[in-house]
Amino acid sequence: MVQERTLSIIKPDGLEKGVIGKIIARFEEHGLKPVAIRLAHLSTREAEGFYAVHKARPFFKDLVTFMTSGPVVLMVLEGENAIQRNRDIMGATNPANAAPGTIRKDFATDVEKNTVHGSDGPDTAKAEIAYFFRETELHPYAYRR
């Protein structure tokens, strides 16, 4: 059983739609445990740095504008196969292509306002978690139920 950690962001549209709780419930129902949670309103510099890999893409400027348009929820999710599991729960980047029952299918508006972000691999997860959280801000715990 490989325990992994991944970075999850509930984007500004998720907060505006009032679905923070529903989204976190889905993670918990699927065995992903939040071990760090914080609200933040990203600065332009923070959003540009976070999405630096997309700097050359035509949607970069709009992406940064959207991600700084309101607060977000930053989370570290922990669980078995957490990186891929989170991606499965989120659904395809473009909600038009997302499978039924996924977060993006149920809550997202379009490819920009797609409600959630999740790390796409082990190296990215490590870098993205470190971008927003110190090690001392991660608080693992066990279920007793």
Nearest distance, CB of residue 90 and ligand CMP, angstroms:
8
Nearest distance, CB of residue 114 and ligand CMP, angstroms:
4
54 noted as active-site residue: no
Residue 6: phi and psi, rounded to 5, are -140, 155
Residues in touch with ligand CMP (CB under 6 A): 54, 59, 63, 93, 111-112, 114, 117
Select 46 or 112, whichever has its Cβ closest to ligand CMP.
112
- The single residue of 30, 41, 54, 117 carrying the catalytic annotation is 117
- Sequence-ordered alpha helix ranges (H) in 2-145: 12-16, 20-29, 44-50, 60-67, 82-90, 103-107, 122-132
Smallest CA-to-CA distance from 75 within 26, 37, 46, 39 is with: 37
Nearest distance, CB of residue 112 and ligand CMP, angstroms:
4
CA dist., res. 58 & res. 108, Å (int): 21
Select 102 or 114, whichever has its Cβ closest to ligand CMP.
114
Nearest distance, CB of residue 34 and ligand CMP, angstroms:
18
Select 24 or 117, whichever has its Cβ closest to ligand CMP.
117
Select 132 or 140, whichever has its Cβ closest to ligand CMP.
132
103-109 contact pairs (CB < 8 A, 24+): 103/23, 103/26, 107/14, 107/17, 107/19, 107/22, 107/23, 108/13, 109/13
Which residues carry out catalysis? 117
